[in-house]
Structure 1
Amino acid sequence: MLPPSVAEWRGGGTLISTPGGRVFVRSAPGDGPTILLLHGYPSSSYDYHQLVRYLDGRAWVTLDFLGFGLSDKPRPHRYSLLEQADIVQTVVAQAASGPMVLIAHDMGTSVATELLARDMQGQLPFELQRAVISNGSVILNRASLRPAQKLLRGPFGPILSRLSNESSFVRSFGRLFSDGHPLTEQEGRAQWALWSANDGHRIAHLLISYLDERVRYASRWHGAVGGWPKPLSFLWALDDPVATTNVLDGLRELRPAATVVELPGVGHYPQVEVPEQFTRAALSLLSTAH
């Protein structure tokens, strides 16, 4: 049984069919341009369930990537960020209209940079006007990967996935949060319920292949960070133990003129830890950043 907050989030959404499977989508009408919210690993669109209340009447759309949250979790399947970008395009075509702006976190930042690269090539089928990137290991060699991430990428990944349980997940997930804004028991239960829905925790080793793609497509995606001709800014929580300030420094080098907002004393999930502060900062960046 899903926790009440997750059941409520599910109740407001719908499933959209894509070639890879059905994906869960939440959206709301409002003033434009529509805000597209992209989540990270190992979580889901639920990461934004507190944020959306602060969007001040803006239109928004978000989704659970294939393999995550309330979306289908096919196996065997070769999960790819390129496929996830295709899925985003399908969702935008069916659940949104008009120009879009983007907020991306964690794994979603690489989906975002693929969208930027497509836009630079004239291959993005919707108008993307601005983007905000938050706490993702975009430059992987600058990140501080967790031991579990390293193990899941290796030959013991399938074993680690089979051994996964709620207590180990919540303990590991909690380490991503800051001391000042620790993971709550309710949030931990919700995140586990979404991660383990349809036995999703058993495919953790398949889903984490996105890290290998960050290496494979580094030139393309780093080039998009530096070269996308529209406003792109960075919203960074400074106490993140994974996507550290070392990653942010690398992004500043790729795009020296980018506007940056720093959130001191906040961990890897700023949209969960300080949703109102995060949202206000993101909205400001989406209206003023160059």
Structure 2
Amino acid sequence: MPSEVEEWRAGGRQVRTRAGTLFVRSAAGAGPTVVLLHGYPSSSFDFRDIVGRLGGRAWLTIDFLGFGLSDKPRPHRYSLFEHADTVEEIVAANTAGPIVLLAHDMGTSVATELIARDIDGTLTCALDRVVLSNGSVILEKASLRPIQQILRGPLGPAAARLANRPVFTREFARLFSARHPLTKEEAAAQWALLAHARGHRIAHLLTAYLDERVTNAARWHGAVRDWDKPLGFLWGTADPVATVAVLDGLRALRPAAPVLELAGLGHYPQLEDAEAFAAGARTLLAIDGS
């Protein structure tokens, strides 16, 4: 593991859940706990430069099952519903008060399921506020990469078997803007986390969330539209996947929602410009301080 990944791992812990053992990292602080939900195919490591910029707020982040430093069982039916279950379980065991969510990419769909549960009255934690960032919540408006289409199709298992570092680095780099290209160090860290416990061999299993976004669109789009608590959007406008068309669709669902556009940033704005992303998150999460 690269030293930066080892440092991130050393500050966290392995937590046993009903789904499996997950990597969790957290810190005490003031106010409602900020729960940070990562995307595909990465991990909580994406937020390493954000958590220290949350104005002294308590925070908690996890690697979802199948990702990063968490268990990567196979065979297994990976599901956004299971990810939402583990968030509830870990939050219940580690926080006593309300939470707010800061969700990116796949994590935005975990967040919309948690919102839907709050609407249903079944959510086990007190959810006060949510910020969604660069996630293809409205999948038909997104521009999926060819590799994503292959992985979710019949050739997915073969594509996962052929996955390697050069291919990953090339595809991952395409998610970054021209102004903030993927660095060699970031590529090495992200590959190490993906390949940990041979996680690169289950990439096709992990993409099942894309199909769930289609089959549960009414529930999750309705959650964005109907939730009666603060919900905002924080968006890198140069994202080639969760494009501004997705953001426009979310705005149509929730016209009054506050929106902060991060001009010229790509699919991983928190990696491209941590301070700009954190400043936007602080504003939308109503966090005082720097």
TM-score by length of 2: 0.98
Counterparts of 1:254 and 1:206, CA distance in 2: 30
Q: Secondary structure of the equivalent of 2:108?
A: helix
Mapped pair 1:55 → 2:54: yes
1-structure distance, mates of 2:146, 2:161: 17
Contact 1:34/1:97 (8 A) holds in 2: no
8 Å contact from structure 2 (residues 55, 282) kept in 1: no
Q: Which amino acid aligns with 1:5?
A: E
In structure 1, the partner of 2:215 is: 216
What corresponds to 1:72 in structure 2? 71
Residue of structure 2 in register with 1:4 after alignment = 3
Which amino acid letter does the alignment assign opposite residue 122 of structure 1?
A: G
Question: How do 1:32-51 residues align onto structure 2 when only pairs under 5 Å count?
Answer: 32-51=31-50
Deviation at 1:56, TM superposition (A): 2.2
Show the counterpart of 1:157. 156
> Cα offset for 1:20?
1.7
Distance apart, 1:15 and its partner CA: 1.0
Partner deviation per Cα, 1:143-179 (whole Å, 9 max, x = no partner) = 0000000000111100000000011101100100000
CA distance in 2, matches of 1:111, 1:207: 14
Q: Which shifted more, 142-151 or 91-100?
A: 91-100
Classify the secondary structure of the residue corresponding to 1:137. coil
* Contact 1:39–1:104, Cα closer than 8 Å, also in 2: yes
Q: Is the 8 A contact 2:232 2:284 kept in 1?
A: yes
Name the count of aligned residue pairs. 287
The DSSP-based 3-state class of the residue aligned with 1:266 is coil
Describe how 1:1-290 pairs up with structure 2 within 5 A: 2-287=1-286
Cα RMSD for the two superposed structures: 0.8
Task: Report the residue type matching 2:120 in the other structure.
Answer: Q
Cα contact 1:222–1:254 (8 A) shared by 2: yes
> Aligned partners of 1:250, 1:147: CA distance in 2, in Å?
22
For residues 8-39 of structure 1, the C-alpha deviation after alignment (integer angstroms, 9 at most, x for no partner) is: 00000011111221010000000111100000
The percentage of counterpart residues that share the same residue type is 63
User: In the TM superposition, what whole-angstrom CA distance separates every residue of 1:24-76 from its partner, at most 9, and x where no partner exists?
Assistant: 00000001111000000000000000111211211000000000000000000
CA distance in 2: counterparts of 1:6 and 1:132, whole angstroms:
26
Q: Give ranges in structure 1 of 5+ residues lacking alignment.
A: none
